[in-house]
A and B are shown apart, each in its own frame.
Chain A
Amino acid sequence: MNTTTTVIEAQQLTKNYVLGKNNELPVLKAVDLKIERGEFVSVMGASGSGKSTLLYNVCGMDRMTSGSVLFNGVDLSRLPEPALARIRLTNMGFIFQQIHLLKNLSIFDNIVLSGYLCGNRTRREVERRAAELMEQTGITEIAGNDITQASGGQLQRVGICRALINTPDIIFGDEPTGALNSKASGEIMDLLGGVHREGTTVMLVTHDVKVASRTERVLFMMDGRIVAEKRLGPWSEDGNGPAHKAREAELAQWLIELGF
């Protein structure tokens, strides 16, 4: 595993979408962002403010227009597509609003596939890790199921297992709880909290104050820029209901002040 302390460092990250000749839409405007190893970050902001675009650019999925992104010290803007894919496969994990599994594979096979492709572990090790992850996320019973035989909350857990199979440096989530009810959403955040506590860096995009309040650092985007950020400190696990409510309220207040 990498030992540098900064996982992601974006400098003057700019992204324009080309709409036509001489017609470009600036979506990210010279964003600077640093995420240290082990951080638990969430990104909030109005719809269209550029949250997803930021995420896609810092993970090397999309090509930035200018600026740079260092991942573990490596400049992603200089790498060709296969190398970027390799990094995403090996060092990053992804959770999306809908996880889109391969429909011709069982749930277990969907999880181990990335592990096999990565090739850093033997088949045995990959399978053992998959079993562990499923145990932790509580989906062991549905391992052999078809992907149609699982609930939305269960599928999102499968997504987390798939994202973690190669023990990545960082997990990206673009509204991972967006399609879930608040109970299921809370359970997913419990899991991600656990992942974070074990040392994995996590970066989430979310609309949900409740979700964001469980992270330790909230970034607020507006019109293609990070205009504010708030540090919330560690989340205490021990069921402190009133404290959690207070934390959520504090964040909500901050957001209202920013005009969210």
Chain B
Amino acid sequence: MIADRKGSAHAEGGTTMMAILFRILRRDATRNRIVNLVILALVGMSAFLLASGGALIVQLATSLDALFERAMVPHLVQMHAGELDRTRVETWAAGQPLVDEYQIVEMVSVDGSHLVLGEWPTTEDHGVMDISFVAQNERFDFLLDGDNRPMLPAPGEIGVPLYYREARNLAVGDRVRIDTGSFSREFRIAEFVRDAMMNPSIIHSKRFLVNPLDYAALRSNLPDTEYLIEFRLTDASRSGELATAYTEAGLPDRGPSVDHRIFRVFNALTDGMVAAVVVVLSLLLMLIAVLCLRFTIVSTIEEDYRQIGVMKAIGMGRRTIQRVYLIKYVALGGVAALGGYLASLAAGPALTANITAFLGSAEPPLLLRTVPMIAALIVCAMVVGSAVLVLRRVHRISAVEALRSGAVDGRLRRIGVLPLRTGRRAGVNLVLGVRDVTQRPRLYALVVGIFALCAAIILVPFHFHSTMNDPSLIAYMGIGRSDIRIDLRQTDLVGRRFDEMVATVAGDPQIARSSPLVTARFTLVGDDGTRESIAIETGDFSLFPLEFVMGEAPRGEYQIALSVLKASDLDRGLGDSLMLLVDGEERTTTVSGIYQDVTNGGRTAKAPLPVDDESVLWYSLIADVQPGVDVAHKTTEYSRLFHPARVTDLNGYIEETLGQTITQLAGVVAAAIGIGLVVAILITALFLKMVLIKDTARIAIMKSVGFSLQHIRLQYQSIALALLLIGVVAGTVLSNTLGERAVGLLWSFMGAAQIRFVIRPLHAYLLLPLLLAAAVGVTTLFSVSRIRNTSIATTIVE
């Protein structure tokens, strides 16, 4: 009978305890409103960002896979400009067991100056893109419509690469006009096509899709053609092998060869960067949230030291005591994670808009769709887990010690007498502030640390953005920094044309200096005697120096510089040797430097070697104008003069290739600045709240001694701003060192392993810190307005 009653009482104990915990929660919620709200907001934002980052990555991977599958992307592409012996290629390909399918795609090159897109006021003369027209492929490498189906334009219709929709503000129904003077034709835009291979703006070739009949007409009226020799393999991972076999067979190879991994990386680049920044931001926020959490728990435990001792004394178990304190963090974490997750659902379409536009809106599989939810749960688990860890301190409190620790409440004993009778008032405020800093180092260190993180959250994306926007970025992209670059593809007689061009530019009084660069094919002899073809840019690399990660530009005919990716492919480092076939003779060169490159798939080499006309792939000329000469003007002049060479204004180059990435990054930067400010505001509110609670008695005493309310408020404001100042300095250092490295990691996906931040001092060192200071300052105004006329009497009764 008694046993029975006990059983039911125990069974009921759980729900009863929950009811009590819930009541604890309710009182705590109203009692510590500010502290709870701040932690809730931090955790919520972190959950939102992590869930969003997860959603972005999932959507990116899914859309990319779907796009590649539907488009049937080739695994290996050899570009070729000039005559092509089709049957030779086809016979070779048919004999390769590795080749599953192959096709030779012919493209008609259209000079930018002959093309007008929609209402755009100029021709594509200044554009950096190589423009070609194609008909839809029959077997693979399809250009897809909005629903990821191969697009089949009717006669007179055209499919325009998506890139131009934003870049030239086009819409379906707009006109595209080709006019060479002797031949002209107009098309109506029927679709914007997704080109899995050439979608990304960083790839500076773009394909326009027309009906086979229109294609035939273009083909017979426009002289320049180019070929894509495309392969799909039985084993995609062995594309390198096939590429080697191809060159060894001496097949047409006037142009870069690219494999499918590059397409994937470049397609994922922009959104991948955004996702990475979002995830990093969320982790930083989580770190901040956990730091705050730790601090509030530790100070709660300290405040409740004797209360906890008594709970132990009267026989409450450790776990019960922990639960009394934990419940709040379980609730906070749960609510924040749920809120963050829901917010990420709401923001999802906007966040993934770019992905769905460029890569298509494939629905992720069920399992992947849970990723954002899991991300939110992870944030919740982090919060609860760190609370559990910190709450282990409860074990260490001994009931006896807590009971012995003096009858008077600790905080009343801590009030010191303030020996401050001298000095003017402002000075006194300062002295009090400084005194305070030495008294509570932990809280202050925490706040400084978080302010530093806030500054970093703002500055790192900002620096990243400034760097991407700066002309010097070119130097990291594998192109010597110059004003103008002229590219001439190899066709017949081009060699002589190039010589004339070099002479003209060299003689132009408006040109300060120029340097011809010729890219040619050489043969690389491996350690085991295997031969491999390698494209090497030759010329004088001392005039327009590149940024080298290691070492320096090659000097003399026995030195070579490699791009980061090429060096890692070949497994060569600085000072290693490399055997080349030059003029049919073996020559050992030494690696003099390693540079970063994003052009031509990021795998390139540079060496001052002698070139024979036969092996030239393309010619380039880079030049700087004299001071005061208008670059755009000069660019136009040259593109007319040297037609059909492509003349690029290099400032425009970044705009065209990275413009969209930069625009998206600008969004991230704005968000990061917002987040940094919000966190600074939250932390200031939290900090002042805690300090003011602890200082209730001290403030009362100061007032009774004769300090005015204003002076006291000023004191707290100056403390907060002083901490911010230290934090911003620390954050700036952090951004310029660790931040730079972290961003370097992002860059490495593009083949640029190391990048120095371009820092805009006015913004980074003045305006943004001022913005932070303003946010913190306004928050302190609100926070200190809580210091009212609390009298010493009310404090002591408390």
Please determine whether B407 and A98 come into contact, CB atoms closer than 8 angstroms.
Answer: yes
**What is the CB-to-nearest-CB distance from A173 to chain B, in angstroms, rounded to a whole number?**
12
A61 vs B397: C-alpha distance in the bound complex, in angstroms? Answer: 12
**What is the CB-to-nearest-CB distance from B63 to chain A, in angstroms, rounded to a whole number?**
49
B-chain residues with CB within 8 Å of residue A105 when the two chains form the complex: 20, 23-24, 27
- The closest CB in chain A to the CB of B399 belongs to A61
Please determine whether B315 and A92 come into contact, CB atoms closer than 8 angstroms.
Answer: yes
Q: Which of B24, B313, B317 counts the most chain A CB atoms within 10 A?
A: B313
Q: Which of B1-42 contact A (CB under 8 A)?
A: 5-6, 8-10, 12-13, 16-17, 20, 23-25, 27-28, 31
Please determine whether B400 and A116 come into contact, CB atoms closer than 8 angstroms.
Answer: no
Please determine whether B407 and A85 come into contact, CB atoms closer than 8 angstroms.
Answer: no
**What is the CB-to-nearest-CB distance from A116 to chain B, in angstroms, rounded to a whole number?**
5
Q: Is B306 on the interface with A (CB-CB < 8 A)?
A: yes
B-chain residues with CB within 8 Å of residue A94 when the two chains form the complex: 310, 313-314
Please determine whether B316 and A123 come into contact, CB atoms closer than 8 angstroms.
Answer: no
Q: Is B491 on the interface with A (CB-CB < 8 A)?
A: no
B-chain residues with CB within 8 Å of residue A162 when the two chains form the complex: 314
Please determine whether B407 and A61 come into contact, CB atoms closer than 8 angstroms.
Answer: no
Q: Is B312 on the interface with A (CB-CB < 8 A)?
A: yes
B-chain residues with CB within 8 Å of residue A235 when the two chains form the complex: none
A122 vs B6: C-alpha distance in the bound complex, in angstroms? Answer: 8
Identify which of A18-26, A39-47, A106-114, A238-246 touches chain B: A106-114
B-chain residues with CB within 8 Å of residue A97 when the two chains form the complex: 407
**What is the CB-to-nearest-CB distance from B76 to chain A, in angstroms, rounded to a whole number?**
68
A86 vs B309: C-alpha distance in the bound complex, in angstroms? Answer: 15
A96-B403, A119-B13, A121-B9 known; A114-B315 Cβ under 8 A: yes
B-chain residues with CB within 8 Å of residue A146 when the two chains form the complex: 27
Please determine whether A85 and B312 come into contact, CB atoms closer than 8 angstroms.
Answer: yes
A85 vs B307: C-alpha distance in the bound complex, in angstroms? Answer: 16
Q: Is A156 on the interface with B (CB-CB < 8 A)?
A: no
B-chain residues with CB within 8 Å of residue A183 when the two chains form the complex: none
**What is the CB-to-nearest-CB distance from A14 to chain B, in angstroms, rounded to a whole number?**
16
Q: Which of B288-336 contact A (CB under 8 A)?
A: 304, 306-307, 309-317, 320, 324
- The closest CB in chain B to the CB of A148 belongs to B798
Q: Is A208 on the interface with B (CB-CB < 8 A)?
A: no
A-chain residues with CB within 8 Å of residue B6 when the two chains form the complex: 119-120
**What is the CB-to-nearest-CB distance from A143 to chain B, in angstroms, rounded to a whole number?**
13
**What is the CB-to-nearest-CB distance from B325 to chain A, in angstroms, rounded to a whole number?**
10
Q: Mark A70-108, 1 if CB is under 8 A from B, else 0.
A: 000000000000100111111011101111111111100
Please determine whether A102 and B13 come into contact, CB atoms closer than 8 angstroms.
Answer: no
- The closest CB in chain A to the CB of B6 belongs to A120
A61 vs B307: C-alpha distance in the bound complex, in angstroms? Answer: 15
Q: Select B316's contact among A62, A85, A96, A98, beta carbons within 8 Å.
A: A85
- Count of residues in B whose CB is under 8 Å from the partner chain: 36
Q: Is B404 on the interface with A (CB-CB < 8 A)?
A: yes
A98 vs B16: C-alpha distance in the bound complex, in angstroms? Answer: 27
Please determine whether A56 and B400 come into contact, CB atoms closer than 8 angstroms.
Answer: yes
A-chain residues with CB within 8 Å of residue B16 when the two chains form the complex: 116, 123
A94 vs B403: C-alpha distance in the bound complex, in angstroms? Answer: 12
Q: Is A209 on the interface with B (CB-CB < 8 A)?
A: no
Q: Select B5's contact among A52, A117, A122, beta carbons within 8 Å.
A: A122
Q: Is A67 on the interface with B (CB-CB < 8 A)?
A: no
A-chain residues with CB within 8 Å of residue B311 when the two chains form the complex: 102
A89 vs B315: C-alpha distance in the bound complex, in angstroms? Answer: 4
Q: Is A179 on the interface with B (CB-CB < 8 A)?
A: yes
A88 vs B798: C-alpha distance in the bound complex, in angstroms? Answer: 30
B-chain residues with CB within 8 Å of residue A38 when the two chains form the complex: none
A61-B399, A119-B6, A119-B10 known; A89-B314 Cβ under 8 A: yes
Please determine whether A120 and B9 come into contact, CB atoms closer than 8 angstroms.
Answer: yes
Q: Select B9's contact among A102, A119, A163, A179, beta carbons within 8 Å.
A: A119
A85-B317, A88-B315, A179-B407 known; A61-B400 Cβ under 8 A: yes
- The closest CB in chain A to the CB of B10 belongs to A119
Q: Is A178 on the interface with B (CB-CB < 8 A)?
A: yes
Please determine whether A117 and B320 come into contact, CB atoms closer than 8 angstroms.
Answer: yes
Q: Which of B120-142 contact A (CB under 8 A)?
A: none
A103 vs B328: C-alpha distance in the bound complex, in angstroms? Answer: 14
A102-B324, A114-B316, A120-B9 known; A178-B407 Cβ under 8 A: yes
A52-B404, A121-B9, A122-B12 known; A99-B310 Cβ under 8 A: yes
Please determine whether B24 and A104 come into contact, CB atoms closer than 8 angstroms.
Answer: yes
**What is the CB-to-nearest-CB distance from A167 to chain B, in angstroms, rounded to a whole number?**
14
**What is the CB-to-nearest-CB distance from A206 to chain B, in angstroms, rounded to a whole number?**
14
Q: Is A174 on the interface with B (CB-CB < 8 A)?
A: yes
Please determine whether B314 and A114 come into contact, CB atoms closer than 8 angstroms.
Answer: yes
Please determine whether B20 and A109 come into contact, CB atoms closer than 8 angstroms.
Answer: yes
A-chain residues with CB within 8 Å of residue B23 when the two chains form the complex: 104-106, 109
**What is the CB-to-nearest-CB distance from B319 to chain A, in angstroms, rounded to a whole number?**
10
Please determine whether A100 and B307 come into contact, CB atoms closer than 8 angstroms.
Answer: yes
Q: Which of A165-211 contact B (CB under 8 A)?
A: 174, 178-179
Q: Which of A96, A102, A109, A162 counts the most chain B CB atoms within 10 A?
A: A102
A102-B24, A123-B16 known; A61-B313 Cβ under 8 A: yes
A113 vs B13: C-alpha distance in the bound complex, in angstroms? Answer: 10
**What is the CB-to-nearest-CB distance from A124 to chain B, in angstroms, rounded to a whole number?**
9
B-chain residues with CB within 8 Å of residue A174 when the two chains form the complex: 403
Q: Which of A143-157 contact B (CB under 8 A)?
A: 146, 148
B-chain residues with CB within 8 Å of residue A106 when the two chains form the complex: 23
Q: Select A82's contact among B20, B27, B317, B407, beta carbons within 8 Å.
A: B317
- The closest CB in chain A to the CB of B328 belongs to A104
Q: Select A104's contact among B27, B404, B798, beta carbons within 8 Å.
A: B27
A89 vs B307: C-alpha distance in the bound complex, in angstroms? Answer: 16
Q: Select A103's contact among B12, B20, B307, B404, beta carbons within 8 Å.
A: B307
Please determine whether B314 and A116 come into contact, CB atoms closer than 8 angstroms.
Answer: no
**What is the CB-to-nearest-CB distance from B743 to chain A, in angstroms, rounded to a whole number?**
45
**What is the CB-to-nearest-CB distance from B413 to chain A, in angstroms, rounded to a whole number?**
14
Please determine whether B315 and A96 come into contact, CB atoms closer than 8 angstroms.
Answer: no
B-chain residues with CB within 8 Å of residue A125 when the two chains form the complex: 9
Please determine whether B310 and A96 come into contact, CB atoms closer than 8 angstroms.
Answer: yes
**What is the CB-to-nearest-CB distance from B412 to chain A, in angstroms, rounded to a whole number?**
13
- The closest CB in chain A to the CB of B327 belongs to A104
A203 vs B403: C-alpha distance in the bound complex, in angstroms? Answer: 17
Please determine whether B316 and A89 come into contact, CB atoms closer than 8 angstroms.
Answer: yes
A99 vs B403: C-alpha distance in the bound complex, in angstroms? Answer: 10
Q: 13 A-B residue contacts at CB 8 Å? A: A61-B400, A82-B317, A85-B316, A86-B315, A88-B313, A100-B306, A100-B309, A103-B304, A106-B23, A109-B23, A116-B17, A116-B20, A119-B9
Q: Report the 4 A-B pairs with minimum CB-CB distance, sorted nearest first.
A: A89-B315, A88-B315, A100-B310, A104-B27
Q: Can you add 12 more A-B contacts, CB < 8 Å, to A99-B310, A117-B315?
A: A62-B400, A82-B317, A94-B313, A94-B314, A102-B24, A102-B311, A103-B307, A104-B324, A113-B316, A121-B9, A122-B8, A122-B9
